[in-house]
Amino acid sequence: MTSTRKTVIAIGVFDGVHAGHRHVISRSLAIAQEHDARLVVASFDPHPAAVLRPGEFLGLLTLPDRRTELLKSLGVDAVEYLKFDSQLRTLSPDEFVEQVVIDQLGGDVVVVGSNFRFGHKAAGDVEALKVLATKYGCEVVVLDLKGDTSTWSSSRIRTLIHDGDVSTAHELLGRLHRVTGEVVHGDHRGRELGFPTANLDVMSGLIVPADGVYSGLLTTADEVLPAAISIGTNPTFDDVTTRRIEAYVLGRSDLDLYGQQVDLDFIAKIRGMQAFSGIDELIVAMNGDVAVAKTHIDDFLEVTGH
């Protein structure tokens, strides 16, 4: 039997699902409840900025699977991804409403932010959306962007992460920035130095913090582990030419994570990437990094109640 339940559509990229996005979702959920409707989020993949301004786009805060997980945790019924390709980009505002909002998404109510633009060359704004949607009996709700929109900007958060300021990014995201990837074999130099590391092949498209050493958490399928994370080429050794992301799980030398998919969550930056005069000086620095990482992680876990 076909359901007659109405559908509320919240349209936006929602990359990061940060505080501003959560405000929009909260309001959208309330609207859905008022209409006894299901709430569907319509996001975009790839990110429009990655297509329109590829040279400027720093990377994603969340890949679609992670974005879906975060949005559903807020109470969203479903997440649909609109393929941001040449066909979608060249739709007129009227075609976008008819073909995407009505035919594809089946929207009875559409919720957008006040800065929403749509259609070829972003020709349509919220006033145009109201007029066009009315033709199809679709209601439009426009939400004022609450608070400091520059603070809540995904672009600002990307810049912070790109610059290594993962602590401020954490405050704005409301959670730690995460990268995900498979543990692959490296040169095993960390093990020789007494700090065996998991070398991560990060999923393509995610923004990776600036080169340096960070405190963080490594999550496997079974457990969450404290880690010191190194990003860069390790300039102490001149044979490392490619950028690497490596995590040392504090106090553990027994882990075999090769081939596993793990998450790395970044708590704080410890220092920038440095070249040391030799292995002895590097080991002293690494011991210092581990001590600082432990303090950062203990403080984080105490505050978050873990």
Q: What is the CATH number of the domain that holds 130?
A: 3.40.50.620
pLDDT of 234-285, one tens digit each? 655 565 558 899 999 999 888 889 999 999 999 999 999 887 877 888 889 8
SS (H, E, C) 226-292: EEEEEEECCCCCCCCCCCEEEEEECCCCCCCCCCCEEEEEEEEEEECCCCCCCHHHHHHHHHHHHHH
Question: Is 242 a domain residue?
Answer: yes
Residues 46 and 96 in one domain: yes
Residues 175 and 244 in one domain: yes
Which structural domain, as residue segments, surrounds residue 259?
166-304
Q: Reply yes or no on whether the pLDDT at 306 is more than 80.
A: no
Q: What is the DSSP string of 140-206?
A: EEEE---S-TTTT-HHHHHHHHHTT-HHHHHHHHTS-EEEEEEEE----HHHHTT---EEEEEPTTB
- Among the candidates 112, 143, 174, a domain finishes at 143
Which pLDDT does position 283 carry in this prediction? 87
Residues 115 and 183 in one domain: no
Residues 222 and 136 in one domain: no
Give the model's confidence band at 216: pLDDT under 50 very low, under 70 low, under 90 confident, else very high: very high
Q: Reply yes or no on whether the pLDDT at 46 is more than 90.
A: yes
Residues 88 and 194 in one domain: no
Ranked by mean pLDDT, the top range of 150-159, 196-205, 208-217, 253-262 is 208-217
Range 5-32 average pLDDT: 94
> Domain containing 178 — which CATH number?
2.40.30.30
Average pLDDT value over all residues in the chain: 91
pLDDT of 60-69, one tens digit each? 999 999 999 9
Question: Is 159 a domain residue?
Answer: no
Question: Is 213 a domain residue?
Answer: yes
pTM of the model: 0.90
Residues 50 and 137 in one domain: yes
Residue for token digits 């543990």? 183
Which pLDDT does position 156 carry in this prediction? 92
Lowest mean pLDDT among 70-79, 115-124, 151-160, 296-305: 151-160
Residue 156 exposed, middle or buried by CB count within 10 Å (0-12, 13-18, 19+): middle
Question: Is 79 a domain residue?
Answer: yes
Question: Is 176 a domain residue?
Answer: yes
Q: Which of 66, 27, 26, 59 is nearest to 43 (CA)?
A: 66
pLDDT of 122-163, one tens digit each? 999 999 999 999 999 999 999 986 555 555 689 999 999 999
- Among the candidates 78, 112, 143, a domain finishes at 143
